[in-house]
Amino acid sequence: MKVFVDEDRCCGHSTCCTLCPEVFSLSDDGFAVVIVDEVPPDFESVVHSAVSNCPEQAISAS
């Protein structure tokens, strides 16, 4: 599974980082970034939670 953050939509609420710090981090500018190339299977469920809980709908997964 791959996950993406739309940097034009992200406002830096950091909900994704709180839910899954193993996959998301904040950039120096305070916006979410993905820190893995491929989401480990153990974290797929929580990444789906991050997608659905993003206030700006800036996260997508495939």
Domain ranges of the chain: 3-61
Model confidence at 52, in pLDDT bands (50, 70, 90)?
A: very high
The CATH number of domain 3-61 is 3.30.9.10: no
Q: What average pLDDT does the segment 48-52 reach?
A: 98
Residue 30: partners with Cβ closer than 8 Å, 6 or more residues away: 12
- How many other C-beta atoms lie within 10 A of the C-beta of residue 45? 9
pLDDT in tens, 6-27: 999 999 999 999 999 999 999 9
Average pLDDT, the chain: 97
Record the pTM. Answer: 0.94
Percent of the chain, pLDDT > 70? 100
What average pLDDT does range 30-43 have in this prediction?
Answer: 98
